[in-house]
Chain A
């Protein structure tokens, strides 16, 4: 009995040591500052703090999130578009998913590569998808209709817009050019090549964010991201005017290349999406700032406004946006891979 009692004491001792060691390991893991947010202990001069820029005057926020978010069930979403029926098209992974107005999935179109951008013709319902260096065209049923040739050896297709007249404008970030095609994919002309004699400043595209939209007047609005502004051209490629200022203030665009995405409201007001500081704002067609759809705090509800920590978060790009016929704004949250609906606040 005495011998057994001694063994029990040793076992108890060993057990206690194991439990204590496990506790220390768990405590250390919980206390480990894996993001470095606790800081290095250097003085404030060495810290990069832009948290105050995430604060937006509530009076400037004109929209509020409404309804339930639509789960895309995609792992890596990239672009959103809307058709004449207000159906939503989301590009992600190697697919395009179509959602009806209730948020139900109507169709999934498998595509051979990652779709970076897409547009849907209001007149024909054809889906134009930018895949790498070229455009592919699908009909409403998801059948491949055409593959257009690449516009150039360095082409990176980042945006497509279809005009009311049926012309298709393709933004090529690699070539820093917008190409105007007819509906059959025949190139008509190129817009935006630097030509000081024609007063064309040239596009500055530091990263693959280069967007184009076409409002009702038929003149393409092209983001010149490196100059942090939006430029207007005639379909022949003559430069008309530009708006947008580099600034961290809410009226301006900040960062190396913003806005990363734009879209049009039914009245041709322009919705802009910025990366870095995730801000979605509305300007009228002349570029006058109207207000904010959502800022960093609204885009990360329930948690502190998000400024990226890890490199892959920082370089993951901004959100995309589209508006339906009633002026509701659909934000593709490329971080959570969901669609979020924003509607005008009731006054």
Chain B
């Protein structure tokens, strides 16, 4: 009862190939439609535990002013006098002099609390999401400064141009009900 091996001709090969291609295409279209249908419930966000503060968020957003802003998580901030997120690496003085400020747009405000603590607030209107302060805070501090997509600005594009340019894959879709990924006390989002 040996199986009968039918000779394969070009016509049959192409016909079967066309069938297979068609089925694969149908699957892809179905998957695409499925993903699209669920996107309505999700928004773009940055995973702060994956973000490498590369600066692409400032450059690649389709908006003139990026929808990505630095945020400050006060619960893990050290309220340091020598804050590397606020001050240039070699400051002349530990004060609010412009020459000592790290932020190129002056978007961080420093306020004295009590010796030796200072509070740092982000002025969102000035922040362009370049992540310079985020990098410095991560290297030398507690990582309390990090980037988030601000949903009062974000257009929630289907194909986010920052996500496409993100080198570390930190951009992800999250449920619209929980649109922010904040670092927890354990350092996890």
Q: What 1/0 mask marks residues of chain B from 97 to 115 whose CB sits below 8 Å from any chain A CB?
A: 0000010100000000000
A307 contacts partner chain B, Cβ-Cβ < 8 Å: yes
Interface of B is mostly: loop
Output the residue of A34, A47, A48, A312 with the most chain B CB within 10 A.
Answer: A48
A39 contacts partner chain B, Cβ-Cβ < 8 Å: yes
C-alpha gap A248/B102 in the complex (Å):
15
C-alpha gap A257/B84 in the complex (Å):
11
Contact A50 B116 (CB under 8 A): no
Chain B residues with CB under 8 Å of A227's CB are 116
A106 to chain B minimum Cβ distance, whole angstroms, is 34
Q: A3-11, A75-83, A325-333: which one contacts chain B? A: A3-11
A98 contacts partner chain B, Cβ-Cβ < 8 Å: no
C-alpha gap A35/B50 in the complex (Å):
10
Contact A256 B14 (CB under 8 A): no
**Chain B residue with minimal CB distance to A46?**
B130
A198 contacts partner chain B, Cβ-Cβ < 8 Å: no
Contact A42 B55 (CB under 8 A): yes
Given A46-B132, A227-B116, residue A246 in contact with residue B104 (CB < 8 A): no
B160 contacts partner chain A, Cβ-Cβ < 8 Å: no
Given A35-B168, A315-B142, residue A40 in contact with residue B135 (CB < 8 A): no
C-alpha gap A57/B9 in the complex (Å):
76
Q: What 1/0 mask marks residues of chain B from 119 to 144 whose CB sits below 8 Å from any chain A CB?
A: 00000000000101001101111110
**Chain A residue with minimal CB distance to B49?**
A311
A129 contacts partner chain B, Cβ-Cβ < 8 Å: no
Q: 8 Å CB contacts to B: which residues of A31-50?
A: 32-42, 45-48, 50
Chain A residues with CB under 8 Å of B140's CB are 254-256, 276-277
Chain A residues with CB under 8 Å of B168's CB are 34-36, 310
Contact A40 B55 (CB under 8 A): yes
C-alpha gap A10/B78 in the complex (Å):
66
**Chain B residue with minimal CB distance to A207?**
B142
A44 to chain B minimum Cβ distance, whole angstroms, is 10
Contact B84 A3 (CB under 8 A): no
A308 contacts partner chain B, Cβ-Cβ < 8 Å: yes
**Chain B residue with minimal CB distance to A14?**
B17
C-alpha gap A248/B84 in the complex (Å):
10
A206 contacts partner chain B, Cβ-Cβ < 8 Å: yes
Contact B58 A10 (CB under 8 A): no
Contact A311 B48 (CB under 8 A): yes
Contact A32 B167 (CB under 8 A): yes
**Chain B residue with minimal CB distance to A33?**
B167
10 CB-based A-B contacts, threshold 8 Å: A10-B10, A35-B54, A39-B55, A40-B55, A48-B53, A48-B132, A206-B79, A248-B90, A255-B140, A256-B142
